[in-house]
Amino acid sequence: MNRSTRLTRSERTRRSGRNGRARGSAFVVRAAATLAAATMLTLTGAGAAHADLVRDYEYWLADYGFTTAWNTTKGEGVTVAVIDTGVNGNVAELRGAVVGGTDVSGLGTPDGQTPVGDDETHGTMVAGLLAGRGTGEGSGVIGTAPEADLLAVSVAFGQDTGAAKSNDDQIAEAVRWAVDNGADVINMSLTRNTPDWPESWDDAFMYAFEHDVVIVAAAGNRGSGTSQVGAPATIPGVLTVAGVDKDKNASLDASSQGISIAVAAPSEDLVGVLPDGSHVQWDGTSGAAPIVTGLVALIRSEYPDLDAANVINRLIETADPNGQTVPSALYGYGLIDPVAALESDVPHVDENPLGSLADWITLHRRAEVEAPDESSVDQPIVPMADPPLPRSDGALTLLPTQWTLAYITVPLSLVAGFGTLAALLGIGATRHTKRTVRIREQ
């Protein structure tokens, strides 16, 4: 879910670095709702310097205590399914991480590693934040659970992808496949953009919950049009992740707010690896979700006998409320705290603290089936009400865009010199805005 260009700013400049050295600069100009600017950073000099630059962008590793948590576990023995646009396990950071996969769209390859759909880079970026191995000591993108195993489940979203199955059917099949193939956790950085979901998802998600699988979903990004949290993040029992900025404040654009939020994690100034091995800086709860999914993997690794309900409870009970009464619509139960999640004494629970999908189905689906025939009874006269919101047409997308992910980035200029950082400004034509910062090694 790459966050669209901030709607509250027309220009943003980024200058930061250790020892006073510039790490890069980005100018993001929002000309209209259909235009976005992207910035490429070119670093000249030794490859080691480039590698340090990439790892330095992962501020959450130290700021949230992941590097300390790794003294306890790095996620070994846990299998995580990434239901997304495909994960290229051949990039340096993901070599050895992807142990299985499949394609449910009819467009990809049987191993789920060929990018498909309108946003082919998305799945690999998500996977890197979750279980990236890095490219050496202190270099490359490393995930929050760098020793967890990945299952790549490729899905193709968008209006005209040519997928053999509907978006909803792909998700239902993907969830079942992940469960049947040993997933302990499932990451879903995607949304229907509406809170409702099809009945086929009832069965698929119940299947996951009955097999003790934790499902993590991204909340969405207000800045790109996802004004409300949408399914699967609204499904009871799902661990929904909101986003915060580098100062741990709720993100205005790279997050959505709602009562189904469970926890919050970084969603701004993230770094990702693309299927071609290059790196980008990006925003969105599509990135916050795998950061949290990695923490779930750490908990499952350290406490292999804990069921899903108690894994979730351990995560939310140890979260930092960030000064809020919990649960809040901004942070849920709070900011994730990896060290506390692994080391604290947490009481046992008998049920998923995030709700029961089984109870929801009993209450809501049965009510739909057993609704009386209103034509057979006299109806009272009532004041005219606002028309109901339209139900979803089943279009499912990867955040941040609604209804389509298509975008074009057109390079305009590139100026490079020895020992300097050069910026490439591009204008993208899209239904929504998108910003990335590409880091290129030279």
Whether 327 maps to a domain, the answer reads yes
Q: Residue 3's pLDDT band (boundaries 50, 70, 90)?
A: very low
Predicted pLDDT of residue 163: 75
Predicted pLDDT of residue 86: 97
How many Cα atoms within 13 Å fall on the side-chain side of residue 30?
17
CA-to-CA distance for 237 and 234, rounded, in angstroms?
Answer: 9
Predicted pLDDT of residue 274: 96
Active site residue 122: yes
Element holding 109 (H helix, E strand): none
CA-to-CA distance for 338 and 315, rounded, in angstroms?
Answer: 8
Predicted pLDDT of residue 433: 34
255 bridge partner residues: none
By the 10 Å C-beta count (0-12 exposed, 13-18 middle, 19+ buried), 367 is classed as exposed
Q: Tell me the per-residue pLDDT of 49-64, one tens digit each, with 9 for 90 and over.
A: 344 588 989 999 999 9
Whether 174 maps to a domain, the answer reads yes
Active site residue 16: no
Whether the upstream peptide bond of residue 347 has omega within 30° of 0, thus cis, is: no
User: Among 142, 61, 72, 143, which residue's Cα sits nearest to residue 342?
Assistant: 72
Choose the catalytic residue: 84, 168, 169, 337: 84
Q: Tell me the per-residue pLDDT of 283-322, one tens digit each, with 9 for 90 and over.
A: 999 999 999 999 999 999 999 999 999 999 999 999 999 8
Decide: helix, strand or coil at residue 398: coil
Residue 145 one-letter amino acid? A
Whether 13 maps to a domain, the answer reads no
Q: Residue 162's pLDDT band (boundaries 50, 70, 90)?
A: confident
- Helix runs in 303-379, H state only: 308-317, 338-343, 357-360, 366-369
Q: Residue 165's pLDDT band (boundaries 50, 70, 90)?
A: confident
Whether 298 maps to a domain, the answer reads yes
Domains: count for the chain: 1
Decide: helix, strand or coil at residue 320: strand
pLDDT at 202 over 90: yes
Residues 86 and 104 sit within 8 Å (Cβ to Cβ): no
CA-to-CA distance for 297 and 147, rounded, in angstroms?
Answer: 9
| Span 106-114, average pLDDT | 96
Say which CATH number the domain at 274 has. 3.40.50.200
Q: Residue 113's pLDDT band (boundaries 50, 70, 90)?
A: very high
Q: Whole-number mean pLDDT of the chain?
A: 77
Decide: helix, strand or coil at residue 425: strand
Beta-strand pair 35-43/98-103: unpaired
Domain that includes residue 153, residue range: 58-366+393-422
Beta-strand pair 239-244/279-282: unpaired
| Span 36-41, average pLDDT | 26
Q: Taking the complete model, does pTM exceed 0.75, yes or no?
A: yes
Decide: helix, strand or coil at residue 270: strand
DSSP-derived secondary structure for 125-174: HHHHHHH-B-SBTTBS-B-SSTT-EEEEEE---SSSS--SS-HHHHHHHH
Residues 190 and 152 sit within 8 Å (Cβ to Cβ): no
Q: Tell me the per-residue pLDDT of 328-383, one tens digit each, with 9 for 90 and over.
A: 999 999 999 999 999 999 999 999 999 999 999 999 987 655 544 544 444 333 33
Predicted pLDDT of residue 423: 26
Choose the catalytic residue: 255, 286, 301, 328: 286
CA-to-CA distance for 368 and 256, rounded, in angstroms?
Answer: 29
Predicted pLDDT of residue 168: 94
Choose the catalytic residue: 50, 103, 119, 122: 122
Whether 432 maps to a domain, the answer reads no
Whether 205 maps to a domain, the answer reads yes
* E strands in 224-298: 239-244, 261-266, 270-273, 279-282
Q: What is the DSSP letter of 285?
A: H
pLDDT at 439 over 60: no
Beta-strand pair 35-43/437-441: parallel
Beta-strand pair 270-273/279-282: antiparallel
Place of tokens 């790549």: 152
Whether 4 maps to a domain, the answer reads no
Q: Tell me the per-residue pLDDT of 224-258, one tens digit each, with 9 for 90 and over.
A: 777 789 999 999 999 999 999 999 999 988 998 88
CA-to-CA distance for 231 and 354, rounded, in angstroms?
Answer: 14
CA-to-CA distance for 158 and 30, rounded, in angstroms?
Answer: 24
40 bridge partner residues: 424, 438
| Backbone angle region of 119, left / alpha / beta, with phi > 0 → left and psi within -120 to 50 → alpha | beta
CA-to-CA distance for 302 and 298, rounded, in angstroms?
Answer: 6
Element holding 101 (H helix, E strand): strand 98-103
User: Among 34, 187, 177, 189, which residue's Cα sits nearest to residue 122?
Assistant: 189
Estimate the share of the chain in helix, then strand, then coil, as percent rounded to the nearest 5: 25, 20, 55
Whether 219 maps to a domain, the answer reads yes
